[in-house]
Structure 1
Amino acid sequence: MKPKKNRASGRPTLADVAKRAGVSEITASRAMRGVKTVGPELAEAVKQAAKAVGYIPDPAARALASKRSRSILVLIPALSNQLFIGMYEEIQKALRAEDYEIFLGNYHYDARQEEKLIRDYLVYRPSGVLLTGNEQSAAAAKMLKDSGLPCVYMMDLLETPGTISIGFSQEEAGAAVARHLIATGRRKLAYIAAQLDPRAKYRGQGFQREIARHGLEPAIELRAPIPSSPGLGADQFRSILGEYPDRDGLFFCNDDLAWGALMEASRLQIDIPERFSIVGFNDLPLSAHMAPRLTSVKTPLDEIGRHGAVTLLRLVRGQPVESACCDLGFELKIRESSLFSGGAAP
């Protein structure tokens, strides 16, 4: 006999599953949700019955019944940015291992888009939210607060009471680059940035602070309010040559900008690092294979994603977390692009 269809949707119902498995609807529901009071053999029988009748659970109905869905909202500023791909992969692995689905919001570094995504997805009652940074609009921040959902902020370190954050100090990373360039004998420095998101701003602030601490003139800054790319890096490198020919140490806020600078220097037959020391940020895989190999700040992006997801799941379950502000650190990977012979590596 064919399973009875839901009159409204035409789909098999939970009652069909329960009848085929020979259990009550409540037991079938618990088995489908993975409730541990249902024995493994009975749970398997219910799952096989669901497969046989073609039953597909309705996540919206489940969320309505439980006031929460088994889903997590993940907000990423740009999936076109290579550095977020690995982070998202780790988030996905950690959440799917615990049978959570993902609502992915890509807001293109636009606070208004992020606000709209939050408004749209909160309707589906996710169990929690993973955010990148804490630059949400006032309206978005209020929606998150009013929702009562557990939230974890990735990338930045936040000291705000009641806020859970996982990342590293962007300012300290910028300061480490300045110390390295100064230690290798560079005195005329430049900070070259794109996208102009708050994290790039914080790196620049740390860079300038350390330069001032050494009593040197401030670094000149070249900023472009567009996404970073090797092409933009090449353009910015040419701007340095034309407008600031006295510079000798260049800190690019992203590796792809630094790649463009290295390739343009090679095209123009400008020696790196004798003429310029060049440092990037994030230590993307290609950086260790450039010619010369690029000095860069290695950031724990994959670990941030994994740790962020695991921490959020603990909050969803009402379990304590180790730290409200988890600093995963960074590492300056020193390579040939900054090893100027006029100084020594620290």
Structure 2
Amino acid sequence: MTTRQSQPGSRSKGRVTLSDVARMSGVSAMTVSRALNEPQRVSEQVRERVEQAIDALGYIPNRAARSLAGSRSHTIAVVIPSVSNAVFNNVIRGIYDVCAPAGYEMLMGNTYYSVQQESSLISKFLTHHPDGMIVTGLDMADSTRRQLEAAAIPLVQIMEVGTSAPLDMSVGISHSEAGGAMARYMLERGYRRIGVLGAQMDYRSQRRIQGFIDVLAEAGLADVKRVLTTAEPSTVRLGGQLLADLLLANPDLDAVFCCNDDLAYGAIYECQRRQIRVPQQLAIAGFNDLEGSACINPSLTSIQTPLYDIGKTAAQMLMRRLAGEVLQQTVVDLGFRLQARDSA
């Protein structure tokens, strides 16, 4: 395991209060309370000033109206992009295996890969005042970033590292490096007319594909006509459809990299329907190395990502911070492994 060092730190900034909003908007705390709870009792001008202050400060109304400073809810909020994706099932299991024995419950939310849904979900979760939060990815809306900064709770951003500094802590892998590693492997195996398939196209998929293409470009073998992506949700069926479309435009392909294993399974099935031998006529590779990747015939070459360990490490980092520990390593790169099998 490799780790990336960052400066020791803790979320020392206090939680934004009603009084902070009152000071910024130039009214009393009682007026701010009325603007929030009985908006019809204050003027439109005052409401606008209060709303602007709330947005600027990232203020979170305290639904539980907690009166004791430092009280604990013993809940951890977890925000993921898909509850149906097998990738996140393993991550969630890792989180649960740490949090449950420590007496913490999980608030689970699904963003459906939407930045707007993520912002709304995080805002709602913060009103429950969780003791800590785990959020997927390093990219988020500015308004969400402000709210999380103002909440002043331990936060771990999971699944990736290396693209930007986290708000607090992060654990994952470099997707661009992983994509590049697969490209170098394919080039070393002698493949030259290499296609790329991508779906969903969240930030992590984009980075692994870009890392792959960058290595091809260095070798003078990148070709935009051999890249086919869609924002549609990733499925096995879609993998077959995308490969069919890619082969129609590029019948001379000798290899294809799929941004995840689901697409790769579909691509292999499409090859079988067309009686294209894998890998003799067309090599196929995927990403994430799901359980079925070793079982499919031919077995799938893929990038193995430490999904369970990402969840487990993120939860352990939260528990240590909640225990008052200042972490010396707040960015943890768990690395990846290229699992070579029969398909490429």
Deviation at 1:67, TM superposition (A): 3.9
State the alpha-carbon separation in 2 of the partners of residues 233 and 152 from structure 1.
Answer: 32
After superposition, where does 1:44-193 map in structure 2 within 5 Å? 60=64, 66-158=70-162, 159-160=164-165, 163-193=168-198
Q: Does 1:203 align with 2:208?
A: yes
Distance 1:209 1:153 in 2: 26
Structure 1 distance, partners of 2:150, 2:298, is 51
The answer (yes or no) to whether the contact 1:78–1:109 under 8 Å persists in 2 is yes
3-state SS of paired residue (1:167): strand
Pick aligned residue for 1:326 from 318, 321, 332: 332
User: Would you say the 8 A contact 1:293–1:335 is kept in 2?
Assistant: yes
Which amino acid is the alignment partner of residue 165 of structure 1? S
**Is residue 2:217 matched to residue 1:212?**
yes
Q: 1:233 aligns with which of 217, 239, 245?
A: 239
The answer for the alignment partner of 1:251 in structure 2 is: 257
* Amino acid in structure 2 at the alignment position of 1:111: V
Q: Structure 2: how far apart are the matches of 1:302 and 1:63?
A: 37
Structure 1's 186 and 63: CA in aligned 2 closer, same or farther, altered over 3 A? farther
Give the alignment partner of residue 229 of structure 2, picking from 199, 205, 223: 223
Question: What whole-Å deviation, never above 9, does each CA across 1:292-346 have from its counterpart, x for those lacking one?
Answer: 11100000010000000000111222202241211101011101100xxxxxxxx
Whether the aligned pair in 2 keeps the contact of 1:60 and 1:69 (CA below 8 Å) is no
* Number of residue pairs aligned between Structure 1 and Structure 2: 280
CA distance in 2, matches of 1:260, 1:291: 12
User: 1:61: how far off?
Assistant: 7.8
Residue 276 (1) aligns with residue 282 (2): yes
Contact 1:63–1:69 (CA under 8 A) maintained in structure 2: no
Larger-Rg structure? 1
Report the more deviating stretch, 219-228 or 137-146. 219-228
Instruction: Map residues 8-47 of structure 1 onto 2, 5 A cutoff.
Output: none
Provide closer, same or farther for how the CA distance between residues 306 and 161 of structure 1 changes in structure 2, counting only shifts above 3 A.
Answer: closer
CA distance in 2, matches of 1:140, 1:162: 11
In structure 2, C-alpha distance between the alignment counterparts of 1:77 and 1:207, rounded to whole Å? 23
Structure 2: distance between partners of 1:63 and 1:269: 69
For 1:218, give the aligned amino acid. D
1:301 to 304, 307, 313: 307
| Separation (CA, whole Å) in 2 of partners of 1:258 and 1:64 | 53
Whole-angstrom CA distance in 1 between matches of 2:296 and 2:67? 50
Cα deviations across residues 125-154 of structure 1 (Å, max 9, x unaligned)? 111110110222111111101111111111
CA distance, structure 1, for counterparts of residue 167 and residue 66 of structure 2: 29
- Matched-pair contact (CA < 8 Å) for 1:62–1:69: no
Q: State the SS of the aligned residue for 2:108.
A: strand
Q: Secondary structure at the match of 2:329?
A: coil
> Contact between 2:138 and 2:166, CA under 8 Å: does it hold in 1?
no
Once residues 84 and 113 of structure 1 are traced to their aligned partners in structure 2, the CA distance between those partners, rounded to angstroms, is 18
Paired residues of 2:213 and 2:222 also in contact (CA < 8 A): no
The verdict on how the C-alpha distance between 1:167 and 1:161 changes in structure 2, with shifts beyond 3 A counting, is closer
- 314-323 or 63-72, which moves further after superposition? 63-72
| In 2: Cα distance, 1:195 partner to 1:307 partner | 26
Task: State the TM-score, normalizing by the size of structure 2.
Answer: 0.78
Contact 2:149 2:167 in 1 (8 A): no
- Name the CA shift for 1:141/1:61 in 2 (closer, same or farther; >3 Å): closer
**Cα 1:188–1:170 shift into 2, 3 Å:** same
Q: Determine the C-alpha separation between the residues in 1 that align with 2:271 and 2:204.
A: 27
Q: Are the aligned partners of 1:279 and 1:294 in contact in 2 as well (CA < 8 Å)?
A: yes
Let me know the Cα RMSD of the aligned residues: 1.8
Q: Confirm or deny: 8 A CA contact 1:293 1:336 kept in the other structure.
A: yes
Higher relative contact order, structure no. (Cα contacts within 8 Å, ≥ 6 residues apart): 2
**Shift in Å at residue 200 of structure 1?**
0.5
Alpha-carbon distance, 1:190 to partner? 1.3
